[in-house]
């Protein structure tokens, strides 16, 4: 006998067992359904790309995080670390064929060789949607609506009320304010300081703006007062009227709020929050973050924004766009914590034991009938003792067992057992599907 | 200005544009739905594994096909080249937690560094389903039923008649016959010769069995006569009664045919074909291949079989199983050739142009109403000329445009234009969803 190989997975990687994978598939299906309902189309790109494509020329900072190697043809290749760079490469290659505006979603794994730590993995799935090739605020409004419909469809509503809040900002406002103060070139430093506001508090942010970014105390206070105020857009409009950039930012936010309201998004779901910074220099317009009412500390579960130039590395064509990404792993962790995830390990709801081995064909026939009625049904493969078979069904989390032995076959009826309550009911063969659908609907 | 990077993909890899990706997603969704309806659960495993896991100890033949490298922690890792070895590793690690029998499906990409050629890629998706941990023929019967339901659900039926044929064999029969002839140890050579039957013909196969496998001419003829005959299982049963192995093979095939018939699988969909060999030594019992009636030359689109010992590399526990795999790429190529794939590049069916820029919120509201009725709807982001907007809609393949300007808003009605026929219809706001659903259902 040869020696056994110890089965194990690489650090930072995970197996998904059925209960975890069913929850993931459900979430990805919901995302696909919502994205599609807005006309976003799916695309896919290779997991491996030329390293040059992923890193850009000379971009070595992210280098260490890449799974990068030489393939058998000695090409310098790497596994994608996000879906944005591949989208940029894809858009540059296919823009002519795709036509603009182009709306795509992409749900796929990415890899980063970061040090594994709690809640951070080297392999994880991103769920992105983007609208490329239009500057229109309609796309910004739609992005907000997609986020709203997505979180609602996932189940974050109660009595029709959203149990999440989408915070929206527009980068143009800060840029305009800094321009007005004559310190436009300091935006990255200011953003970096503001980003820390929830963690370090007002005084520390002011100090950083003065010490590291070289704003005057007065300028720092002005910026922070503006950003941390409960923004009244009408007031802001007057305040910033003399700056074109800031005015445009305010105008776009106003139009966003009014169109979203008209489209039926509850006002309680959307807050203007001028303090959200969302990355340092990639975004150039509207920015979104989404927090769960019951679990705000877990951070934003759906974030994104508008950018000016997606594919500048690959083409001279300016491709503006806007998009956001659902944080699949973070959201699943939250749903687990909030008890929103079932623990069945089978997608089937009806279990058919082999009570009488000689009736295998009849059980198989029954199961196909139920499947045709949309009821996922499993027939146990072995004619073990009924108790053993039902034990298996309990463990997997089936809802109902449909049982028949020779008595039942003779009478043309089935014994249906509720595996949660233990209650039993005899159902005539002719009405079995109808009655099972009733029981399943009632038990939801 | 920095130099641009030429956007390109690695040889043997592909981008999937919306039309191709929508067809792929549709196929994967159908597979998931059918697998789940039988109680198969989804799992996922890491794309990267220790090379030792994927190769087994010393297994260097497949080495050249692996994307294998040392990661930043100097671990010898590789990208999975199939979903079976990861399933073996997974089953060995988690069998206790999962419970047996364990039914899983896994739809995921795999990588092989083979020389790219027409129809063969270095990155492709596998759609596997397997039942682990039972020897029961019920699992073999169910596997046949899954294949039947899968091909039917994908659309290979006409007037209720299957447009595909599933060929079934049982490896035990050949093994029994060879045992009876006293040449049991020659099964691999015999299988290799028989595998070529459709390509090289009877004489060449006979010659190979004599010259390379050292069967006598008489033995070779006996084997080939048996395998290439239209098998009558009752006759075969008598003929092979003295050999336990072959008899079991025949008995399992007989039970499979009768249970499948009772379960409602049309007899025309299933053929016993003792000549199918399906790989050389992995399978040990029932074997399946599936051919399309309209395009048999494309090869089997869904294949699989029973194996004795899935995870022998990783555990002493014997894990028998049975499963099959849908050939996604081959099937898509066939469907493309048979005109079964639409060429819309959007998943949305209704297009709402911005006819009147001031009504953006109203268009957004309309679109949400239609989405709530299950009608995927896109609002064009820019208020361009109507003709330009409709051009975009035509190009993407929307079915209907729903148009309103100030006249229509005043009257509370919408103009609905069929983008294929060009016909127009005015529909009152109150009945819009109902009427659109009718039009869409009629046009299917």
Which residues of chain B does A69 touch, with a Cβ-Cβ cutoff of 8 Å? 67, 69-70
Closest Cβ opposite residue B381 in set A7, A32, A131: A131
A130 assigned binding-site residue: yes
For an interface test with A, the pick among B1, B11, B14, B17 (most A C-beta atoms closer than 10 Å) comes out as B17
CA distance B87 to chain A (A): 10
A282 assigned binding-site residue: yes
**Alpha-carbon span A8 to B406, nearest angstrom:** 66
Q: Looking up tokens 């914590």, which residue turns up?
A: A337
Assigned token pair, A258: 């009014």
Nearest C-alpha neighbor of B80 from the set B113, B115, B48, B121 = B48
For an interface test with A, the pick among B50, B52, B310, B361 (most A C-beta atoms closer than 10 Å) comes out as B361
Interface size A-B, in CB pairs within 8 Å, comes to 314
B36/A381 touch (CB, cutoff 8 Å), yes or no: no
Q: How far is CA A246 from CA A214, A220, A237, B390, in A?
A: 22, 17, 8, 34
Residue of A nearest to B6 (CA): A314
Instruction: Specify the DSSP class assigned to residue B115.
Output: P
Instruction: Specify the DSSP class assigned to residue B63.
Output: G
**Alpha-carbon span B231 to B233, nearest angstrom:** 6
**Alpha-carbon span A412 to A362, nearest angstrom:** 12
CA distance B25 to chain A (A): 8
A94/B49 touch (CB, cutoff 8 Å), yes or no: no
| Element of type H or E holding B323 | strand B321-326
- Predicted TM-score (pTM) of the model is 0.95
**Alpha-carbon span B278 to B195, nearest angstrom:** 8
Are A317 and A98 spatial neighbours (Cβ–Cβ below 8 Å)? Answer: no
Task: Enumerate residues 6+ apart whose C-beta is below 8 A from A325.
Answer: A83, A126, A127, A128, A129, A302, A303, A304
Which residues of chain A does B377 touch, with a Cβ-Cβ cutoff of 8 Å? 37-39
Which residues of chain A does B347 touch, with a Cβ-Cβ cutoff of 8 Å? 36, 39-42
Which residues of chain B does A149 touch, with a Cβ-Cβ cutoff of 8 Å? 368, 371
**Alpha-carbon span A156 to A266, nearest angstrom:** 14
B101/A7 touch (CB, cutoff 8 Å), yes or no: no
Which residues of chain B does A396 touch, with a Cβ-Cβ cutoff of 8 Å? 99
| Element of type H or E holding B246 | helix B244-263
| CATH fold for the domain made of B350-443 | Rossmann fold (3.40.50)
Burial, B232: exposed, middle or buried (Cβ in 10 Å; 0-12, 13-18, 19+)? exposed
Are A439 and A421 spatial neighbours (Cβ–Cβ below 8 Å)? Answer: no
The pLDDT of residue A227: 81
ipTM (interface pTM)? 0.94
Closest Cβ opposite residue A69 in set B7, B47, B69: B69
Task: Enumerate residues 6+ apart whose C-beta is below 8 A from A160.
Answer: none
Residue of A nearest to B107 (CA): A25
Average pLDDT, 10 consecutive residues per value, chain B (444 residues): 87 96 97 98 98 78 78 94 96 93 97 83 96 97 98 95 96 90 88 86 93 92 82 85 93 96 96 81 91 95 94 94 95 94 93 95 96 97 96 96 93 95 96 96 82
CA distance B110 to chain A (A): 10
Assigned token pair, B211: 């010259």
Q: Which CATH number is correct for B18-338, 3.30.930.10, 3.40.1620.10, 3.40.50.300, 3.90.650.10? A: 3.30.930.10
Closest Cβ opposite residue B138 in set A3, A4, A382: A382
Assigned token pair, A134: 């239009």
The pLDDT of residue B282: 81
A376/B36 touch (CB, cutoff 8 Å), yes or no: yes
SS (H, E, C) chain A: CCCCCCCCCCCCCCCECHHHHHHHHHHHHHHHHHHHHCCCEECECCCEEEHHHHHCCCCCHHHHHCCEEECCCCCEEEECCCCHHHHHHHHHHHHHHHCCCEEEEEEEEEECCCCCECCECCEEEEEEEEEECCCCHHHHHHHHHHHHHHHHHHCCEECCEECEEEEEEEHHHHHHHHHHCCCHHHHHHHHHHHCCHHHHCHHHHHHHHHHCCCCCHHHHHHHHHHHHCCCCHHHHHHHCCCCHHHHHHHHHHHHHHHHHHHHCCCHHHEEECCCCCCCCCCCCCEEEEEEECCCHHHCCCEEEEEECCCCCCCCCCCCCEEEEEECHHHHHHHHHHCCCCCCCCCCCCEEECCCCHHHHHHHHHHHHHHHHCCCCEEECCCCCCHHHHHHHHHHHCCCEEEECCHHHHHHCEEEEEECCCCCEEEEEHHHHHHHHHHHHHHCC
Q: Looking up tokens 């089937």, which residue turns up?
A: A348
A178 assigned binding-site residue: no
B45/A16 touch (CB, cutoff 8 Å), yes or no: yes
Domain boundaries in chain B?
18-338, 350-443
Closest Cβ opposite residue B258 in set A79, A361, A381: A361
Which residues of chain A does B371 touch, with a Cβ-Cβ cutoff of 8 Å? 37-38, 149
A141/B360 touch (CB, cutoff 8 Å), yes or no: yes
A195 assigned binding-site residue: no
Assigned token pair, B394: 């035509």
Residue of B nearest to A152 (CA): B372
CA distance A147 to chain B (A): 13
Please determine whether the domains at A18-338 and A350-443 fall in the same fold group of CATH: no
Nearest C-alpha neighbor of A259 from the set B379, B362, B382, B361 = B361
Q: How far is CA A85 from CA A49, A55, A112, B253, B270, in A?
A: 10, 9, 14, 53, 48
A36/B348 touch (CB, cutoff 8 Å), yes or no: yes
The pLDDT of residue B228: 74
A41/B8 touch (CB, cutoff 8 Å), yes or no: no
For an interface test with A, the pick among B347, B395, B398 (most A C-beta atoms closer than 10 Å) comes out as B347
CA distance B234 to chain A (A): 20
Residue A170 has pLDDT above 90, yes or no: yes
pLDDT tens figures, A39-78:
999 999 999 999 999 998 655 555 568 999 999 899 999 9
**Alpha-carbon span B163 to A50, nearest angstrom:** 43
Are B264 and A368 spatial neighbours (Cβ–Cβ below 8 Å)? Answer: yes
Q: Is B377 helix (H, G, I), strand (E, B) or coil?
A: strand
A83 assigned binding-site residue: yes
Which residues of chain B does A360 touch, with a Cβ-Cβ cutoff of 8 Å? 138, 141, 255, 259
pLDDT tens figures, A350-393:
999 999 999 999 999 999 999 999 999 999 999 999 999 999 99
Are B321 and B365 spatial neighbours (Cβ–Cβ below 8 Å)? Answer: no
Nearest C-alpha neighbor of A178 from the set A188, A186, A170 = A186
A131/B25 touch (CB, cutoff 8 Å), yes or no: no
For an interface test with B, the pick among A43, A110, A347 (most B C-beta atoms closer than 10 Å) comes out as A347
Q: How far is CA B390 from CA A142, B7, B342, in A?
A: 20, 31, 20
Q: Is B242 helix (H, G, I), strand (E, B) or coil?
A: coil
Residue of A nearest to B97 (CA): A17
Which residues of chain B does A316 touch, with a Cβ-Cβ cutoff of 8 Å? 4
pLDDT tens figures, A296-355:
999 999 999 999 999 999 999 999 999 999 999 999 999 999 999 988 899 999 999 999
């Amino acid at each position: 006998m040869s020696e056994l190989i110890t089965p194990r997975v690489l650090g930072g990687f995970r197996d998904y067992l059925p209960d975890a994978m069913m929850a993931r598939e459900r979430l990805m299906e919901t995302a696909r359904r919502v994205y599609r309902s807005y006309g976003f189309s799916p695309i896919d790109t290779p997991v491996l790309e030329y390293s040059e494509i992923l890193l850009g020329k000379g971009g070595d900072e992210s280098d260490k995080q890449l799974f990068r190697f030489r393939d058998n043809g000695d090409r310098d290749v790497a596994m994608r670390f996000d879906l944005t760079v591949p989208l940029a490469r894809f858009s540059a290659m296919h823009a002519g064929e795709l036509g603009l505006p182009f709306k795509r979603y992409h749900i796929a794994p990415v890899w980063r060789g970061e040090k594994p730590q709690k809640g951070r993995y080297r392999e994880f799935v991103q769920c992105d949607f983007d609208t490329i090739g239009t500057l229109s605020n309609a796309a910004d409004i739609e992005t907000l609506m997609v986020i709203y419909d997505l979180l609602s469809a996932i189940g974050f509503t109660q009595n029709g009320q959203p149990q999440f809040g989408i915070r929206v900002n527009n980068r143009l406002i800060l840029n305009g304010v800094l321009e007005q103060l004559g310190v436009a070139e300091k935006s990255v430093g200011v953003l970096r300081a503001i980003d820390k506001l929830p963690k370090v508090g007002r005084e520390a942010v002011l100090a950083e703006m003065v010490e590291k970014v070289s704003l005057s105390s007065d300028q720092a206070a002005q910026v922070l007062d503006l950003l941390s105020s409960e923004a009244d857009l009408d007031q802001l409009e007057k305040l910033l009227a003399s700056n074109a950039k800031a005015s445009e930012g305010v105008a776009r936010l106003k139009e966003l709020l009014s169109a979203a309201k008209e489209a039926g998004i509850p006002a309680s779901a959307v807050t203007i929050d001028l303090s959200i910074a969302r990355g340092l220099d990639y975004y150039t317009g509207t920015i979104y973050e989404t927090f769960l009412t019951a679990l705000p500390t877990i951070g934003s579960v759906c974030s994104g924004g508008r950018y000016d130039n997606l594919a500048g590395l690959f083409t001279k064509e300016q491709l503006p766009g806007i998009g956001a990404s659902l944080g699949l792993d973070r959201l699943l962790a939250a749903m687990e914590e909030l008890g929103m995830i079932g623990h069945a390990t089978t997608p089937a709801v009806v279990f058919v034991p082999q009570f009488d081995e000689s009736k295998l064909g009849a059980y198989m026939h029954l199961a196909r009938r139920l499947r045709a009625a949309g009821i996922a049904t499993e027939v146990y493969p072995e004619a073990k003792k009924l108790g053993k078979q039902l034990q298996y069904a309990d463990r997997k989390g089936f809802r109902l067992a449909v049982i028949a032995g020779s008595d039942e076959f003779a009478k043309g009826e089935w014994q249906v057992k509720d595996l949660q309550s233990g209650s039993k009911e005899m159902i005539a063969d002719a009405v079995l599907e109808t009655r099972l659908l009733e029981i399943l609907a009632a038990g939801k």
